[in-house]
Amino acid sequence: MSATTGEGAPGAMPLAQIAARLRADPILLLSLLAVVAIVGIAVFAPWIAPHDPYLTNMAMARKAPGWVSPDGVRYLLGTDVQGRDILSRVIYGIRATLTFSGLAVVFGSGAGALLGIFAAYFRQLDGVVMRVVDVLLSFPAILFGLSLSALLGPGTLSMVLALAISAVPGMARIARGSAMVVMKQEYMEAGHAMGFGNGYLIFRYLLPNCSSMLMIYATLQLGHTILLGAVLSFLGLGPQPPFAELGSMAADGRKFLQIFPHISTIPTMTIFLIVLAFNLLGDSLRDALDPKLRT
């Protein structure tokens, strides 16, 4: 087999076959539509939000969903403890949550993928890299958040760094496992025999043929990171008030949970739906792109 064509590569599923699998999976289509809608809300938040998410009015505090103000303005999801429109804050909270979690996954998973692939390709690095990964896996992300908050102070930077670090070890293990399989293929051996450089083999053959598995895991990791970021924000380690973020919004209403449950439950349910959408998308992508399922 020619090393220059990459025919028969493990990740070389024809686009038509991928499209057929995607069309045959209604859960994938529904989850994909949900993710597109969520991203659309985040991108167009300034145009979608009906009110200023930071405008306070204590005279309208803690109003129930559907409440209509004296001037005839309806608040579909009610108001929070400071009279701010919950719907507008949820829309901006989705934007903040996706932005912070997306940045953490891009940098953390990207670093983890490179570490795993380099560990599989350069065998002399394998032991060192995987021991570092094991150490990172032994620390929960909340501990990273607490440590970085102590060093940098609570806020966006410390939360994103904690989420990025927590994304590294899992992706590194997945990337290493996928790369080890690809390294055993004949076209990789042929590339070595033909004198191709390490960089060419890694970025031309090894990384592309691991991309399907890495993409699936990154999608699942995004859902996990969103949930973890909400937990850190709930604990006060994320963006500080009055910034609209779903985790901190849920924390704002916890004192009024029995008498005004909507203040906490609405952002909490939003987090649940976002995480569910990304998890379903990741599971469906795995079913569609898993080489074991190819006919």
Q: Count other Cβ atoms within 10 Å, centred on residue 269.
A: 14
Quick one: DSSP state of residue 8? T
Asked if 86 and 262 touch (Cβ cutoff 8 Å), the reply is yes
Asked if 116 and 176 touch (Cβ cutoff 8 Å), the reply is yes
Q: Is 242 helix (H, G, I), strand (E, B) or coil?
A: coil
Quick one: DSSP state of residue 75? E
Query: 91-127: per-residue pLDDT in tens?
Result: 999 999 999 999 999 999 999 999 999 888 888 888 8
Q: Is the pLDDT of residue 9 over 70?
A: no
Q: Given this model, what pLDDT does residue 70 score?
A: 86
pTM of the model: 0.85
Query: 48-106: per-residue pLDDT in tens?
Result: 999 999 999 898 999 999 998 888 888 999 999 999 999 999 999 999 999 999 999 99
